[in-house]
Amino acid sequence: MGKLIEELKQDIQYQHGMNACLNCGICTAVCPAAEVYDYSPREVMNICHQEDEEALIELLKSDKIWYCGQCFSCTPRCPRGNSAARVILALRRLSIRYGYFAESEKGRQQLFAKRVFGENLLKRGLTLLATNITPQNFPELGEFWEYYFEHMKEMREWWGVPMDLENSPGSHRIIPEKDMEELRAIYKATGALELMEAIEKGMEKKLGSKEEVEKYWQTWLETGDSRNYQLKKEKEEDK
């Protein structure tokens, strides 16, 4: 058995998500992502079940494992008690750990997940001062968000929620440093910090340098679409 298969089987989410798959396709039939993408949880489960190292590596390098929306609709319906959703989580971790995520366009988008959501959590916990969710970068949030973003200061005053997190209530409050330390300790103990670092390293390896990673990041910030960044190989093909 290959090294990656062995490692996948050590992942607790994989152990909980994979019993014996009979390839019936019920998970795909109920999967909303399968409606819109070239994606089938049945296919993913089948590849894992075969325990073929080469096929697993191809899967880890592909967009497929990033299409799942983690809705868990597949899980209660599987006649074998499997959870494609959990298996996908284990596959994503493996893909990041070995840098395979950077081979696919959807995989490379993990850089945003890491820099926007991951780092936000590490800095402020779940505090909602969403200054980094700019309308330019998130046009799908629509005109209400645009309005809120432009008038954040006045609106927070109307609600009695000051911009100063120190004096804010509820979900806008500042998280005490002691709690933040606990949160960071959880990130460390669960390996989340390691995965966040692996995302930066994997991107650097794929794009060739830290400067290129920043160019990729800037392309997304400026255009709202990472696909506007051209990989070196694509640039050469265009010549």
Q: Report the interface residues with ligand SF4, using CB under 6 A.
A: 21-27, 30-33, 41-42, 45, 68-74, 78-80, 82, 84-85
State in angstroms the smallest separation of the CB of 53 from ligand SF4.
Answer: 21
Residues 6+ apart with CB under 8 A from 180: 125
What is the sign of the dihedral through the CA atoms of 190, 191, 192 and 193? Answer: positive
Alpha helices in the chain (DSSP H): 3-10, 12-17, 26-30, 32-36, 41-50, 53-61, 84-97, 105-108, 110-112, 119-124, 142-150, 152-158, 177-189, 192-207, 210-223, 232-238
Q: Tell me whether residue 91 or residue 111 sits nearer to ligand SF4 (CB atom).
A: 91
Q: Least CB distance from residue 52 to ligand SF4, whole Å? A: 17
Determine whether 115 is exposed, middle or buried from the number of CB atoms within 10 Å of its CB (0-12, 13-18, 19+). middle
Q: What whole-number distance in Å separates Cα of residue 87 and Cα of residue 70?
A: 11
CA 97, CA 212: separation in Å to the nearest integer? 20
CB-count exposure of residue 79 (10 Å: 0-12, 13-18, 19+): exposed
Of 26 and 175, which has the nearer Cβ to ligand SF4?
A: 26
Nearer to ligand SF4, 34 or 203 (CB): 34
Q: Give the nearer residue to ligand SF4 in terms of CB position, either 74 or 111.
A: 74
For the bound state, the minimum distance from the C-beta of residue 178 to ligand SF4, rounded and expressed in Å, comes to 35
By C-beta, is 67 or 100 nearer to ligand SF4? 67
Q: Kindly state the smallest distance separating residue 99's Cβ from ligand SF4, in Å.
A: 23
**Smallest distance from ligand SF4 to CB 35, Å:** 9
In angstroms, give the least distance from the CB of 7 to ligand SF4. 21
User: Which lies closer to ligand SF4 via its Cβ, residue 23 or residue 171?
Assistant: 23
